[in-house]
Amino acid sequence: MLIYILTNAGIPSAISKIISEFVAVENYRSAKKTFKISRFLLFILGIVMAFTMFCISAPLTIHMNYGEAKYSVIALCPAILFTSVSSAYRGYFQGIRNMKPTAISQVLEQILNTVFTLLFAAIFIKYGVEVGCVGATMGTTIGSLASALYLIVIYKKNKESKVVNLDNDKNNVKHTNKQIVRKILKYSIPITLSVAILSAGTLIDSYNITSRLIAGG
């Protein structure tokens, strides 16, 4: 959850805010550029954080006194990347005041998550509790993948949801990539830090509670 928040909490909110600002003043070129830059940033960030999560899965679970959960954490790594991609598109749709794709993708994600979590847990539990937990975790990854694919398809097919009519661009102010990245960081960093602090506190509580229960027998 902490890695998920560090990856997805701030930039999507920044995307929606910045795009809505540009659309409001009919600066469609900058709005489109903002989405493309943000999507690229989230894609790279998702890869980096998923790889980081994979690398620290063993030492983290051992330190948290849940060494047997290593493979469950690994099974969640792709979900970090998939949710990053979804977040980029959700931020974009929110910025152009179209919440329908976001709503449908979230419902789709949770339905598939529930179905495949129960299905894989039932299939793999016969090999042991640890393997059953890994199977259950795979439902989250499948749900996030389906959500990302749905949003990509909707973005490509539904031209009404795109800011593509550049001929109607009435605002001639051009923003460089550097300016847009600065705006994204300006909005996203404070949001990410404030939410991450709460999640970090929960992580510390989990460690303290588990270690004390183990110490108490």
- Tens of pLDDT, residue by residue over 38-54, are 999 999 999 999 999 99
Cα–Cα distances in angstroms (integers) from residue 75 to residues 7, 80, 112, in the given order: 17, 10, 16
168 falls within a domain: no
- Give the count of domains, the chain: 1
Domain assignment of residue 128, given as a range: 2-163+173-211
Q: What is the pTM of this model?
A: 0.82
Is residue 122 very low, low, confident or very high in pLDDT (cuts 50, 70, 90)? very high
217 falls within a domain: no
Mean pLDDT value across residues 137-144: 92
Please give the pLDDT value at position 110: 94
14 falls within a domain: yes
216 falls within a domain: no
The answer, yes or no, to whether residue 1 has pLDDT greater than 90, is: no
58 falls within a domain: yes
65 falls within a domain: yes
Q: Sign of torsion, CA 175 180 181 186?
A: positive
User: Residues of the chain with pLDDT > 70: what percent?
Assistant: 94
